[in-house]
Amino acid sequence: MANAGMVGNTIKLVGEMILPGASGLIDGDIKAGLGHTLLGVAGYAVVGPVGLWLVKANSYAYSVSQKHLHQHVRELFVSDQPATTASPVSGAETA
């Protein structure tokens, strides 16, 4: 169900509301699903509801895009495009 479309992603999102890691379990990725479930419990114990929410968001993001949440956030701020080099303007020679 990795590329299940809108209905599959909705089912995964509802599953994440019930159990962190549900989207991984639905995909058949038991290791990632159980890992996110354990991290969700630990996140809730340490940070509270915010920790649980972050683990659930990471689990869903990884399930639908194969990228973790921090990778999506990094892409917002970091561009992987090569830097442009300034080439001298034709006819503008420096002495």
Count of domains in the chain?
1
Residue 41, pLDDT score: 96
Alpha helices in the chain (DSSP H): 5-18, 22-27, 30-46, 49-65, 69-77
C-alpha closest to that of 60 among 22, 8, 7: 22
pTM (2 d.p.): 0.74
93 part of a folded domain: no
27 part of a folded domain: yes
4 part of a folded domain: no
**In this structure, what token pair is assigned to residue 12?**
């995964």
Range of the domain at 39: 21-71
For residue range 9-29, what is the model confidence (pLDDT) as tens digits?
Answer: 999 999 999 999 999 999 999
| Residue ranges in the chain whose pLDDT is less than 50 | none
Residue 59, pLDDT score: 95
Residue 78, pLDDT score: 86
Residue 15, pLDDT score: 95
Asked if 69 and 80 count as a contact pair (C-beta separation under 8 A), the reply is no
